[in-house]
Amino acid sequence: MDEFIELMRAKESWLMERILGYARMHDYTRYSSTLLEAWRVSIAGLTEALAGTLKFHGDGSLNVSLHTDWNEDPASRFAMGQARRHRQRGVSLEMFLGLFVYYRRTYRDLIREFVAEGDDQSRLDELVIVLFDRMSIGFSAEWANVGGQTTLVEMASTLRCITNEKNRYLTFFESLSTPAIFLEPDGTIGNINSAATSLLDSDARIGKIYYATAEDEISPAFLGRKVEAVFPWLEVFGGEVLASVERTFEADVTQPLPFGSRQFRAILNRHPDVSGRITGFSLILHDLTERVRVQEQIRNAKEELDRTFNAISDLVFLVDNDLALMRVNKALETRLSCPSIEIIGRPCAEVLGAFEYNFSGDDRSDGRIPVNFGNIQGSFLVNRDQIRGPDGAKIATVFVARDVTVLESIRGTLLEVEDKYKNIFDNAPVGIFQISPYGFLSVNQALASIFDFDSTEEMRRYYTDIPSQLYVRSEDREDLLREALVTGIVRDRDIELRRKDGISFWAKINGRVIFADDGEAEYFEGFLQDVTELRSSVDRLVKSERQFRGLAETMQQGLVEIDAHGRVTFCNRHFCELVRQEKDEISGLQLVTLVHPDDRETYLRMVDTVGCGEEIRRCDIRWFISGEQFFSIVTPVMQEENKEECAGIWLLVMDVTQRRFIEAQLLQTQKMEAIGQLAAGIAHEINTPTQYVLNYIWFIKEAMDHIAQALGGHGLLFERLASDPALEREIKVIQARDEELQVSFYLEELPSAVGDVLHGLEKITAIVGSVRQFVHPGHDCKTDVDLNKLVTDTVTLSRNEWKYVAELSMDLDPELPPVPCLSQEIGQVLLNLLVNAAHAISEIRSDGGAPLGTIHVITRRDGGWVEIRIADNGSGMPSHVQEHAFEPFFTTKAVGTGTGQGLFIAHRIVTGVHEGTISFKSQPGEGTTFTIRLPLNNTD
């Protein structure tokens, strides 16, 4: 039998679910309790009654006899007690017996479900039938023995108890300061408390709605109407929300008022009964108006305090543990005549000048210490306070230096500041207090509310034992007192405290100790904020922001965030270096203003495309900063608040200017190398036959000289032989033949012709030599170069460019010393300048009828420098062209005739490689003069 009793107790939940299932199936839940606990208690009581009866009678005496005493066993007594309670509540005997049938079936189902078939199952089933028969007869007898008048008296007593209970809950409901509304399943208002009524009715009173009569015309204005019809600003809680909410639904709503508005956090709760049927909803409105206002006041107070920091006329500066400046106020900036951006991060001694001060010691200096700063005129009294982190480690030190020469003026300023903001602190939304070891001297209402008191007086009377009532951990109070007494001040100290109800919370305390004239501490004053909710979220936010900024600031590419209007909201250090501007200058700037004018359309198209949700992998964008341009590859990524709205765009900017320059220079070098190789080959091919022809011409010239000498001797012989008559005729024949063949003419003209041929061949040899010298591979390091010869070779090489448009003259200093340089690269510079000069002259001789221009090349020594000047009387350069002359890819020539690299490469070779200078003077229509200066002591 004990096993069966343990089975009933172990299967209590199963029995409750089974009887509740029968009750739902046969509609008994309509008039029963809506709470599951009532059904559990019923099963538990019945099980214990059955167990007590089985133990009382054992296995053999459970019979129903004629003279059975129904009070003798627990089961019958339990049934009779249940009969009295249900009769008093107005339950009929038929209803009670009907539900009792299903209790009997539930316990029989337990036996069939969990007891194996056989004798034990049958015996237990018969036993349960007998037990329930005894209980049925017992409560029937109880029911029959009571007259109708007694039943009415019992029901009246029960009704009074129910009415009193209802009045208690009604009083509680109507006295709530929080607006509360009960909604029927269809969303109409079933009941509403006075706090909710007061939102629309300024004359609302406790119980006014509940006790209103039909003649009052008050109840119809609220009850039975849809909540959104009575309170339009609660339309979010319409039929769709009521139909879909599973348990709780929350929303922030705003009640419009004639002179402002009120903010509420509205919480809707669904209320089903045990059968799952919805009995209604409760809607609670928590007023957030004051909280929002307080948050705004705190934000304004912080901004005001920041302005106060910069309004202080004392010199205030903050240093880290390495004595590097972290922050300075405007007064110090003014005294140093230097903006803070140039001061922050530099050593304190470097900025302020050498001064004597003991930086070690306690957190706070003992009074003001006289100090003279090396870089600031005047004498100062300096105070010091150390700032510590949550772990107690020192993280910074703040110094306040007061110029004693204007002490009275500063004191007046501080008093004015104190008076100005006294009213703000008196009415601050944070808790303000004065406290002694014996209790609170004074508190404001904000502090009383934080500790859950209705008034400041109540709070002051409540705390009589500060250590045990206020602090969760006594050691926190000891640490706070120790810090306050040692340093005189407490900053941003987080401590766990207790409210009136004993619930703990985290508070941030800032304050100071007030000392008496004798040096004894009188009391502690300060302000307190409840930071329980903010504590964990702020820690996570700070950690996340620190990680992001650390990553962003260490990137080797520029990172920029722009909002939906194209304004810069964030940029990292690398991007500031690219555009050569400070973050403060870029923040809020329209980023398109930094883009090169020729690429702005491309940039705007990229932003519009990404803003529409389309993807762009990369885009080539040029930036134009302070008259200079640089090239970049920009990768855009859109930020999404939702699928339909662009919150902003991240731009990853990779500087490829140097790569573009190197690629262009490499291309130019490859072209020059190819041309050089071709020219070297041609020069070699020309040089061989030229030497061959030159050798034979010299041979012919020498032969002509010998023939002329021989024929001259023959002439003298003919003159002597002409006197012999026998030979006169033969001689005349020979002389006539010589005249016919023009021998004397050839002897006279051939030497001159051969000389001209030799002169032409020598020019060919000189040109070939210049070409071979120009294309000869250069050295990796600088060597001493005859600059005059390099100029002469370059002039010879470029002759074909200028000989048809200009006359070229050279004025080369014969005393010019060798110049350490890379001959091939300087030759390239000279060639570019000569070709440019020829092109400038050809622009003004486009008709071909104008006289030849002039190009003049001069070399001179100027102390430790050598100058090369190349002047022309060509078209000159307009002022807008002169501004971009040395920029890469800038050209005014037609497409295909200029790359925009000549002057850029020349500038790089002269200034970057040779540490020299290149400049020009130009007048439109008059010509241009380029001046190259190379140092004589420039060696690798």
pLDDT at residue 928 in the model: 94
Rg (CA), the chain: 54
Rounded mean pLDDT, 71-99? 75
Mean pLDDT of the chain: 79
Domain identity same for 376 and 520: no
* Domain contains 553: no
Rounded mean pLDDT, 500-512? 90
pLDDT at residue 161 is higher than 70: no
pLDDT at residue 86 in the model: 73
Which residue type occupies 785? V
Rounded mean pLDDT, 264-290? 81
* Domain contains 268: no
Classified as helix, coil or strand, 622 is strand
Domain identity same for 376 and 470: no
Domain identity same for 822 and 896: yes
pLDDT at residue 871 in the model: 94
Specify the pairing of strand 853-862 against strand 917-923: unpaired
Rounded mean pLDDT, 880-899? 66
Distance CA 381, CA 657 (A): 53
Range from 25-29, 144-148, 211-215, 689-693 that averages highest in pLDDT: 25-29
Rounded mean pLDDT, 710-716? 66
pLDDT at residue 348 in the model: 87
Domain identity same for 715 and 756: yes
Domain boundary among 108, 132, 158: 158
pLDDT at residue 934 in the model: 93
Which residue type occupies 893? K
Domain identity same for 15 and 150: yes
pLDDT at residue 312 in the model: 85
Domain identity same for 790 and 747: no
* Domain contains 839: yes
Rounded mean pLDDT, 114-131? 84
Classified as helix, coil or strand, 935 is strand
* Domain contains 215: no
* Residues 301-330: tens digit of each pLDDT: 878 877 887 888 888 888 998 889 988 888
Rounded mean pLDDT, 70-93? 73
Q: CA nearest 400: which of 328, 311, 322?
A: 328
Percent of the chain with pLDDT over 70: 76
Classified as helix, coil or strand, 11 is coil
pLDDT at residue 149 in the model: 59
Distance CA 19, CA 110 (A): 11
Domain identity same for 717 and 826: no
Domain identity same for 722 and 819: no
The answer to which of 43-57, 331-345, 575-589 has the lowest mean pLDDT is 43-57
The answer to which of 15-19, 570-574, 830-834, 901-905 has the lowest mean pLDDT is 901-905
* Domain contains 298: no
Three-class SS of 130-199:
HHHHHHHHHHHHHHHCCCHHHHHHHHHHHHHHHHHHHHHHHHHHHHCCCCEEEECCCCEEEEECHHHHCC
pLDDT at residue 628 is higher than 70: yes
Rounded mean pLDDT, 811-820? 92
Rounded mean pLDDT, 926-940? 85
* Residues 747-765: tens digit of each pLDDT: 777 777 777 776 666 666 6
pLDDT band at 115 (very low <50, low <70, confident <90, very high): confident
pLDDT at residue 774 is higher than 80: no
pLDDT at residue 101 in the model: 84
* Residues 541-555: tens digit of each pLDDT: 777 778 777 777 877
* Domain contains 116: yes
Domain boundary among 158, 192, 210: 158
pLDDT at residue 896 in the model: 47
Q: In this structure, are residues 861 and 934 in contact, taking their beta carbons and an 8 Å threshold?
A: no
Domain identity same for 921 and 833: yes
The answer to which of 160-164, 346-350, 370-374 has the lowest mean pLDDT is 160-164
* Domain contains 436: yes
Rounded mean pLDDT, 448-473? 88
Return the CATH number at 924: 3.30.565.10
pLDDT at residue 428 in the model: 67
Specify the pairing of strand 315-319 against strand 278-287: unpaired
* Residues 20-75: tens digit of each pLDDT: 888 888 877 776 666 677 788 888 888 888 888 888 776 556 666 666 666 677 87
Rounded to two decimals, the pTM is: 0.32
**Which DSSP string corresponds to 452-516?**
T-SSHHHHHHH-S-HHHHHBSSHHHHHHHHHHHHHHSEEEEEEEEEE-TTS-EEEEEEEEEEEE-
Classified as helix, coil or strand, 37 is helix
Return the CATH number at 473: 3.30.450.20
Q: Which helix (DSSP H) or strand (DSSP E) does residue 400 occupy?
A: strand 394-403
**Which DSSP string corresponds to 281-341?**
EEEEEEE-HHHHHHHHHHHHHHHHHHHHHHH--SEEEEE-TT-BEEEE-HHHHHHHTS-GG
pLDDT at residue 100 in the model: 80
Question: Which positions ≥6 away from 848 have C-beta within 8 Å?
Answer: none
Q: In this structure, are residues 932 and 868 in contact, taking their beta carbons and an 8 Å threshold?
A: yes
pLDDT at residue 261 in the model: 86
The answer to which of 74-78, 447-451, 529-533, 929-933 has the lowest mean pLDDT is 74-78
Distance CA 756, CA 701 (A): 11
DSSP 273: -
The answer to which of 338-342, 641-645, 736-740, 793-797 has the lowest mean pLDDT is 641-645
* Domain contains 746: yes
The answer to which of 37-41, 347-351, 466-470, 917-921 has the lowest mean pLDDT is 37-41
In degrees rounded to 5, what are phi and psi of residue 478? -65, -45
Helix/strand/coil percentages in the chain, nearest 5? 50, 25, 25
Domain identity same for 760 and 785: no
The residue segments making up the domain with residue 392 are 312-403
pLDDT at residue 218 in the model: 47
Rounded mean pLDDT, 440-469? 87
Q: In this structure, are residues 405 and 378 in contact, taking their beta carbons and an 8 Å threshold?
A: yes
Percent of the chain with pLDDT over 90: 8
What is the number of domains present in the chain? 5
Domain identity same for 370 and 339: yes
Domain boundary among 133, 158, 183: 158
Return the CATH number at 97: 1.10.490.10
Domain identity same for 458 and 320: no
